Amino acid sequence: MLLCCLIHLHVFSQHQPKILFIGNSYTGVNDLPGLVMQVSNSAGDSIDVSSQSPGGQTLQNHSIPGSPSRMEIDKGIYDFVVLQEQSQIPSFTDIEVNAYYYPYVKSLDSAIKSANPCAKTVLYMTWGRKYGDVGNCAVWPPVCTYKGMDSLLRLRILNASDSIQCDVSPVSVAWRYVINHYPHIELYDMDGSHPSPAGSYLAACVFYTTLFKKDPINITFNFILNAALADTLRQAAKLAVYNEMEKWHIGNSDLKSGFTYHINYDSLSISFNNTSRNASNFKWYFGDGDSSSSEHPVHKYAGSGTYQVSLIANECGTQDTFLQDVKINETSILPATTRSFQPYPNPNNGWFTIPNQSDTIEAFDTKGGKIEITLKAENGHTEIYIPNYKGIVFIKVHSNHIIQYFKILVQ
């Protein structure tokens, strides 16, 4: 069997996405949800936004059943729900993060999926404060500097994304890029914590890339910034985020079809291992007229040929197709129930006999690699010796236009 090509084909449903922002003043200052809508509209992608972002709120507060945020989530009308934690909590000690951050990310994600199984959670990766977390520096030194605090925020938010397989809007990544390359651009408000208009605009550009997987250079809306500054910030979002989307977990929640396979040498069937992500419905086409809806099918081909195997994965109106060409070299298959002989002894010490004189006899390891053997045919049978090998061996016997596979154990 030979792998010839790998192809992905994507089909997406088309409608105006509804996005709910849940957070606090980091989301509310400069009306980030409205900015995201304006930059998206200017790039030709229309969205509808809502927000629950009272000052000082934590995800723990937002997760309380009956709270305004939970009531909004429970409507089940949103395609994306953005979660922005209080700006310090993900940078706290491991004990505190395990108690006050991760559980509420999971709780809110569960509520989002319960209200709308097709909704996607997005974690808002906020930035370190300009001079670090001054109030907690004495008891937790890693947050004493901007970079120290920022690095912890990044680590914990990416970990949370992995735990629930959701996307991240890595605003802090673009933020650090601007600080390093354009230190004259002021991203902070006067308090050294909240975003300036430039900071919020940069965040909106990153959110556009996160939500649509598109280049922020397409954005034409400049907000209240001059054209040169707005263009610089779009370029920063492109270089730091758009060019490295997978690295920053953008697309973690996307549907992706895929599979691997292996040959079952004792039956000449193929076991397909479905590696698709974020999908629950599948359709296989094996290229010989047969199909299957199983998640991990086993298929047997009748003869030689090159077959294009396709797996179509479906979820929530989105479809992804993965194609592979496979080549079958064998001519026919003899079912195990009709075999006329068996190798003996089995198990053995490398010496065994096949009670048949065959056209060709070959041996393979469990990965399909060919194993060297010595053959001696006499008196209507074939003696076989496998030197310097221990373990399971598949023996291929080709006789009278019939191929049979046998599994033996060399001890």
* 324, 259 Cβ separation under 8 angstroms: yes
Q: What one-character DSSP code corresponds to residue 272?
A: E
Q: Per DSSP, which regions of 289-340 are E strands?
A: 291-292, 298-300, 305-315, 318-328
pLDDT at site 400: 63
Question: Strand pairing partners for 402?
Answer: 399
> CB of 301 within 8 A of CB of 328?
yes
Low-confidence ranges of the chain (pLDDT < 70): 1-14, 265-268, 304, 329-340, 357-359, 366-368, 400-403, 405
Q: Please tell me the predicted confidence (pLDDT) of residue 340.
A: 59
Which fold does the domain 336-410 belong to in CATH? Immunoglobulin-like (2.60.40)
Q: Is the pTM of this model over 0.85?
A: no
Identify the CA nearest to 20 among candidates 62, 57, 48, 55: 48
Architecture, CATH, for domain 255-328: Sandwich (2.60)
Give the pLDDT confidence of 221-272 residue by residue, as tens digits: 999 999 999 999 999 999 999 999 999 999 888 888 999 888 776 566 788 9
pLDDT value of residue 358: 67
DSSP letters for 45-76: ---EEEEE--TT--HHHHTSTTSHHHHHHTT-
Contact 33, 49 (CB under 8 A): yes
Domain ranges of the chain: 14-244, 255-328, 336-410
pLDDT at res. 330: 52
Tell me, what's the pLDDT at 233? Answer: 98
CATH number of the domain at 14-244, please?
3.40.50.1110
One-letter amino acid of 355:
P
Decide: 111 and 81 in contact? Cβ < 8 Å. no
> Which is nearest to 381 in space by CA: 399, 364, 394?
399
Q: What is the pLDDT of residue 4?
A: 39
255-328 and 336-410 share one fold: yes
Q: Residue 35's closest CA among 234, 205, 211?
A: 205
Three-state SS for 379?
A: coil
